[in-house]
Amino acid sequence: ATLVPLLVRAAPAVRPSIAARSPSRSVAMSAEGKGKKGGDANDAKDGYGGEASVGKATGGQTSADALTAAALKEAGISVILGSKSFTRKAILKEMGITYEVAVADIDEKAIGDRTDSPKDLVMAIAVAKADAIVKKMGEELGPDMDGQWPIAKDTMLVTCDQVVVHDGVVREKPESKDEAREFIRGYGVSAPSTVGAIVVTDLETGGRCVAFDRSTVTFAPVSEETVEFLVQEGECMNCAGGLMVEHPKMAPLVTKLDGAMDSIMGLGKRVVGGLLMEALLDRKLKGLSGGIKKEFIPEDQRVEKS
């Protein structure tokens, strides 16, 4: 996807009306991807096949995904994904949700405690990403918008963060190839878990819906040949813990999955879909356009907050 400025128009001299506070629609955002990540699995041989690898791992759009996408479209709600992660973009696209991309540009390493609760860490970072994007959008609207709502009419912002926890240690993106080798090799010895946080912010009201997402995957032993292939290919360097469960080299090694494949890949569809539906319900309760009734949300889309 092509990244565009959060708001491409010049900031107005006076506080704009609510009708003016919508992100630009001049650039259609997608999750097409470029280069290796946008390739086809057949062309990639044993390597990463981009959207094809993601779709094969997650199983494609579910009925719940389609329901969420239809509800957002019918309500006239736009979605901004606060992430440049290829996998997250591909998953959201697979759900059928049209979106634009905004990047927080924060120092994630400066946030949270890596020796404490992984859940507290990922939630702190996901919230910080949302705060940074909201602040940037407010600044583009004008100096009097600091801390003010609405930032954008009929628009929801999705931010998230994830770490891998292995043998009780929090793992983020590998900082070197040697570290990536150590990470990947270890996953064939003991099962890694992913701990994620997803935050949906209504940019019209400032309301937030948040939830955690955790999954565990067990692998058969990972050969040194596979370890070296993944490290030299390089895609694993962009993933928390270097973990690429959807990769054609790793997917066949999965022996057990507790949770969901898309959750391990960085954006659990059931959770983000449930939060978007919950945000639509919140709009209904507040008497805003684009709201839905509680009974419209299926039981299997209700998300756990703990």
Residues acting as catalytic residues = 161
Phi, psi of 171 (to 5 degrees): -125, 130
The DSSP 8-state label assigned to residue 100 in this structure reads: E
The DSSP 8-state label assigned to residue 202 in this structure reads: E
Reference 268, options 52, 25, 39, 65; nearest CA is 65
Kindly compute the dihedral angle of the four CA atoms of residues 105, 108, 109, 110, in this order, to the nearest 10 degrees. 90
CA–CA separation, 187 and 193 (whole Å) = 10
Tokens of 16: 């704009």
Reference 94, options 104, 82, 86; nearest CA is 86
Q: Is omega for the bond preceding 150 within 30 degrees of 0, making it cis?
A: yes
CA angle at residue 66 from 153 to 38, to 5 degrees?
A: 90
16-21: list long-range contacts, CB under 8 Å, 24+ apart: 16/141, 16/142, 18/150, 18/153, 18/204, 19/153, 21/141, 21/150, 21/151, 21/152, 21/153, 21/203
- Report how far apart, in Å, the C-alpha atoms of 202 and of each of 26, 66, 91, 171 are: 21, 21, 21, 30
